[in-house]
Amino acid sequence: NAGVTQTPKFQVLKTGQSMTLQCAQDMNHEYMSWYRQDPGMGLRLIHYSVGAGITDQGEVPNGYNVSRSTTEDFPLRLLSAAPSQTSVYFCASSQSGRAKTGELFFGEGSRLTVL
């Protein structure tokens, strides 16, 4: 059982480039979300989804797009990367009932550097 898988683990971009961070889970979880982790700021929610075809914004959505075409996948797109988006990104998922009680399963993270 792979759990939550994120790719790539490391990425370096130049300002203005675009890229997609991939997230896949094999636990049939309905709830999926993306967080960014920055020193001294904890984790901040970017976008989340409560099921295929349904997405919503979190605390810091600007500069990011998401879509949810399948239950398994929840990619995060950076349309025009900026240095402020240098961060570690975490994907997390949960069964829909458990999502309301905070039992999230996290991937290992994707470290992004924007030059």
Q: Give the footprint of other proteins on this chain (CB under 8 A).
A: 4, 31, 33, 35, 40-45, 48, 50, 56, 58-59, 90, 92, 94, 99-104, 106-109
**Buried/exposed 59-74: b ≥16 CB within 10 Å, e otherwise:** ebbeebebebeebbeb
Is the Cβ of residue 85 or residue 110 nearer to other proteins in the bound state? 110
The C-alpha atoms of residue 15 and residue 1 are separated, in whole angstroms, by 37
The C-alpha atoms of residue 95 and residue 64 are separated, in whole angstroms, by 24
Least distance in angstroms from the C-beta of 99 to other proteins: 3
Is the Cβ of residue 9 or residue 83 nearer to other proteins in the bound state? 9
Is the Cβ of residue 78 or residue 104 nearer to other proteins in the bound state? 104
Is the Cβ of residue 14 or residue 42 nearer to other proteins in the bound state? 42
Return the closest-CA partner of residue 54 out of 66, 44, 62: 66
Q: Do residues 61 and 36 make contact, with C-beta atoms less than 8 angstroms apart? A: no
Least distance in angstroms from the C-beta of 82 to other proteins: 23
